[in-house]
Amino acid sequence: MVVLLILYEWPKMGQHQKKEKTAFVTITAMGWLLAILLLFFPDLQGPTQMIEQLFKPLGKMLEKN
């Protein structure tokens, strides 16, 4: 699916659109990596739970003050 997406979109981008191509490759690679991780680890936490675990101690610290 990723290969088809790249084959379809890449020729439509101009030769001088380097930032757009970089963003396209980065977002596509991140999506592909997330799909593979979820395939092998279906119980993996979502982004919301990860953010909550990161900021929960900070929230508790701010509540004390």
Q: What is the domain range of residue 7?
A: 2-64
Query: How high is the mean pLDDT in each 10-residue block of the chain (65 residues)?
Result: 87 88 91 90 86 88 79
The CA distances from residue 58 to 48, 49, 52, 61, in Å, are 16, 15, 10, 5
pLDDT at residue number 26? 93
Number of domains present in the structure of the chain = 1
Query: Cβ distance 5 to 28 under 8 Å?
Result: yes
pTM listed for this prediction: 0.63
